[in-house]
Amino acid sequence: MFGTTTSTLPEYLSPEILLNPEKREFPEFDLVRLLTTVFEPTQDCRVCILIDFDEPLAHIKDFAFLKEEGYPVQKNAHKYFYEALRDGAMAELGMSGGEFFAYRCTNGSNLDLDDDVWDTAGNHLSLDKDIYPAYDLILCVSTFSATAPLTAKAKEYGFRGATLHGLNDVILNSGLAVDYNEVSRDAEKLRIALTNADSMEIDFTLEDGRVLTATLGLDNQDAQKSHGLCHGKKPDIANLPAGEVYFVPTDANGQFPMKYEDGTLGVLDVKDRCIYRSTLIEGNQATIDSHNARLADDPMTGTLGELGFGTQVLPVSYADIQDEKVLGTCHLATGRDDHLGGDILPEMFKKHENATHDDILFAPHKTPNFNVSQVRMNRDGKQEILIENFRPSAYLMDALAG
């Protein structure tokens, strides 16, 4: 299953850990180690933290949210980032600043942020005028991903940063506790193994025995990687936890299954890179009807903007930001892909709230009703199996051992 070279791999890539990732041991989360590894150099950098609320002023002023029920992501941001920076990490890293700000929750993945932002004293500020130009490192710990908009702003204003949406205890103690030098090396090995592919074919086996196949055209493009390192002074945003190889599809055809948030299962029909129809397998027909109405009203919402493969061995966190980085999983995404070097821009959507980038993760815990029975890469007239039954193939394991 895992090839013949596993004896040369590190322990975290051993067959036992691959089959039981919850058995992998991680060091304790250390903010200094994380920021040193990800953002070398940190000396003389001015840093701040962004969090989000539906009503920012009411919750950020005088840290009111700390006395309220809920807000686990924002409370993790305060405890493990804000307090840690103020309690010595900032001095150890040679950084300054450490301020805490809140912006209005976008309520959608990778939607552009409103310019309004508030500090802990309740002062109303501007992201464009007061935050982006004033900081070298911006850490965004939010409810929804802000990678796409912050990537664009980083290029405009020259800062570096990281997005860490959905931060929970499992992520803190695994996906953010790893050595990102190792993550980067593994991601590069797999990137080389997949780069310049002509196309990818994904087989999905449903519970009733049907096999759906989606074919993604890639046109020999260079594979890209999300590897967690954001070194030097070049403007960039790291999406943490990192660890994936990804492509921007140039074409897509076929079918793939979809599990909706309410548990409804559907089959999505794809042609010319766009999802154009959803058909009910089981669950709520109204959910399917709503999706079809959205596709009819704004067809750009069905455009496939990413194909990604996980490269890490991590326990399930029940947050896609980590779970899509697990080796043996793959994901598609609809919507904007400008932050990935693609051509789908926010202004191409009918409504602002439609210009999201939404990942569709295929993983055993997320989609138990169907199996990714096989993923195949076509390149230079040859075909390689990449994944079978959510397990990395011998081809991928040999690449990691190289």
Asked if residues 330 and 387 have their Cβ atoms less than 8 Å apart, the reply is: yes
CA–CA dist 239, 335 (Å, integer): 18
Residue with tokens 């076509």: 378
pLDDT-derived band at 8 (thresholds 50, 70, 90) equals confident
Is the domain of 200 the same as that of 114? no
Q: State the total domains in the chain.
A: 2
Q: Where are the alpha helices (DSSP H) in 280-383?
A: 285-297, 320-323
Work out the angle between the directed axes of helices 180-194 and 31-39 (0-180°, nearest 10).
40
Pairing of strands 160-163, 137-140: parallel
CA–CA dist 377, 392 (Å, integer): 13
Q: Is the pLDDT of residue 6 over 70?
A: no
CA–CA dist 73, 329 (Å, integer): 25
Q: CA distances (Å), 143 to each of 73, 105, 146, 321, in order?
A: 7, 7, 9, 11
Across 46-134, where does the E strand assignment appear? Answer: 46-53, 96-104, 116-119, 124-126
Long-range contacts, stretch 4-8, CB < 8 angstroms, 24+ apart: 4/394, 4/398, 5/397, 5/398, 5/401, 6/397, 6/401, 8/401
CA–CA dist 145, 164 (Å, integer): 7
pLDDT-derived band at 27 (thresholds 50, 70, 90) equals very high
Pairing of strands 274-282, 236-239: unpaired
Q: What is the mean pLDDT of residues 139-151?
A: 97
Is the domain of 253 the same as that of 283? yes
Is the domain of 161 the same as that of 208? no
Is the domain of 197 the same as that of 327? yes
- What is the reported pLDDT for 279? 98
- Answer whether residue 72 is part of any domain: yes
- Answer whether residue 217 is part of any domain: yes
Asked if residues 178 and 30 have their Cβ atoms less than 8 Å apart, the reply is: no
Is the domain of 391 the same as that of 260? yes
- Answer whether residue 38 is part of any domain: yes
- What is the reported pLDDT for 4? 52
Q: Among 136, 155, 172, where does a domain finish? A: 172
- What is the reported pLDDT for 7? 59
Pairing of strands 137-140, 46-53: parallel
Please give the residue range of the domain that contains residue 285.
180-401
Give the sign of the dihedral formed by CA 91, CA 93, CA 97, CA 98.
negative
Residue 347 corresponds to which tokens in the numbers above?
């202004």
- Answer whether residue 15 is part of any domain: no
- Answer whether residue 392 is part of any domain: yes
Is the domain of 152 the same as that of 185? no
- What is the reported pLDDT for 371? 96
Closest to 336 in 3D by CA, of 319, 353, 311, 361:
353
- Answer whether residue 13 is part of any domain: no
pLDDT-derived band at 233 (thresholds 50, 70, 90) equals confident
- Neighbouring CB atoms inside 10 A of 319's CB total 17
pLDDT-derived band at 3 (thresholds 50, 70, 90) equals low
Q: Is the pLDDT of residue 299 over 80?
A: yes
Q: Is the pLDDT of residue 140 over 80?
A: yes
Instruction: Give residues with Cβ within 8 angstroms of 238, minimum separation 6.
Output: 38, 160, 161, 162, 163, 226, 228, 229, 230
Portion of the chain with pLDDT greater than 90, in percent: 97
Is the domain of 187 the same as that of 303? yes
- Answer whether residue 5 is part of any domain: no
CA–CA dist 395, 389 (Å, integer): 15
Asked if residues 199 and 172 have their Cβ atoms less than 8 Å apart, the reply is: no
Q: Among 124, 143, 172, where does a domain finish? A: 172
Is the domain of 276 the same as that of 342? yes
Is the domain of 237 the same as that of 383? yes
Q: Among 152, 172, 192, where does a domain finish? A: 172
CA–CA dist 159, 145 (Å, integer): 18
Asked if residues 228 and 242 have their Cβ atoms less than 8 Å apart, the reply is: yes
- Say what the pTM is: 0.94
pLDDT-derived band at 276 (thresholds 50, 70, 90) equals very high
- Neighbouring CB atoms inside 10 A of 338's CB total 21
Is the domain of 233 the same as that of 119? no
Work out the angle between the directed axes of helices 394-401 and 180-194 (0-180°, nearest 10).
130
Is the domain of 186 the same as that of 167? no
Q: What is the mean pLDDT of residues 347-362?
A: 93
Task: Report the mean per-residue pLDDT for the chain.
Answer: 96
Is the domain of 334 the same as that of 212? yes
pLDDT-derived band at 1 (thresholds 50, 70, 90) equals low
Residue 151 corresponds to which tokens in the numbers above?
């990537």
Task: Go through 43-77 and write b for each residue having 16 or more CB atoms within 10 A of its CB, e for each that does not.
Answer: eebbbbbbbbbeebbebbbeeebeeeeebebbbbb
Range in 78-87, 95-104, 181-190, 341-350 with the lowest mean pLDDT: 341-350
Instruction: Give residues with Cβ within 8 angstroms of 91, minimum separation 6.
Output: none
- Answer whether residue 26 is part of any domain: no
Residue type, 43: Q
Closest to 303 in 3D by CA, of 345, 341, 352:
345
CA–CA dist 396, 311 (Å, integer): 10
